[in-house]
Amino acid sequence: MTETPNGQPPSRLDRIESILLQAATSINQLATNQAETDYRLNQVTDRLDRTADQFQQLVTQQVATDTRLDRVTERLDRVAAQQETADHRLTELTYKVDDFISTANSVLARTAIVDGMVFELREVVVRLDANAERMEANIERMQANFEENQRSTNAALERLESILIRLIDKGDRNGDSHL
C-alpha cells in the first residue's frame, strides 16, 4: 500500500476509495468483455447462417459442416458459461460496492462524532490550561506570601529573642535567678 503525500499510510477511506476504483475498473472491463462477447456472438450467428446456406447447396459437405457446428456450439456453451460467471461476478461486485458504501457511511458518521468529541476535548484542554495558569499564579502568590510571612515571623522571633535576652540580663542584674 502506498503512502500519502504527507508520509502517512492511507486512511481507511483512501483504501475504500481505492477498492471502489478497482471495482469500477472491473465493472468497466466486464462491460467491455460483454460487448466483445456480443460481437463474437453476432459473428457466430452469421457463421451459422452461412452454414445453413451451404448445407442447402452442398449436401456432400455434410460431415464437415456438422463438425463446424459442433465447434460453434462448444464456443457458445463456453460463452454462455463465461457470461454466467461474469454475471455472478458482477452481482458479487455489486454487493461488495454496496457494503463498501455502507461502511463508508458508517465511517463518516463515526468521524463526525469523533470530530465533535475532539472539538470538545480541545475546549476542555484550553480550559485546563487556563486553570493551570491560574493555579500556577496562585501558587506563586502563596509562595511569595509564605516567604513574606516567614520573614515577618523570623523578624518577630528575633525581636522576641532580643527582648527575652534583655529581660534575662535585667533579671540577672536585679538578682533574680529564678528564671
Written in H, E and C, the secondary structure of 46-97 is HHHHHHHHHHHHCHHHHHHHHHHHHHHHHHHHHHHHHHHHHHHHHHHHHHHH
Q: What CA–CA distance (Å, rounded) separates 104 from 106?
A: 5
46 or 55, greater pLDDT: 46
Cα–Cα dist 140/148, whole Å:
12
pLDDT of residue 5: 65
Which of the given ranges, 112-121, 124-133, 167-176, has the highest pLDDT on average?
A: 124-133
Query: Is residue 61 very low, low, confident or very high in pLDDT (cuts 50, 70, 90)?
Result: low
- Which letter, b or e, does each residue of 110-138 get, where b requires 16 or more Cβ atoms within 10 Å of its Cβ? eeeeeeeeeeeeeeeeeeeeeeeeeeeee
Q: pLDDT > 90: what percent of the chain? A: 37
174, pLDDT greater than 80: no
DSSP SS3 for 4: coil
| C-alpha cell read off for 115 | 470530530
- Number of neighbours of residue 87 by Cβ within 10 angstroms: 12
Q: Output the pTM of the full model.
A: 0.34
Total residue count of the chain as it appears in this document = 179
d(CA 51, CA 94): 40
Q: Which secondary-structure segment (H or E) carries 2?
A: none
Which pLDDT score, from 0 to 100, does residue 100 have? 87
Give the pLDDT score at 3: 60
Kindly give, in sequence order, each residue whose CB lies less than 8 Å from that of residue 62, ignoring residues fewer than 6 positions away.
55
Predicted local distance difference test score (pLDDT) of residue 173:
81
pLDDT at 179 over 60: no
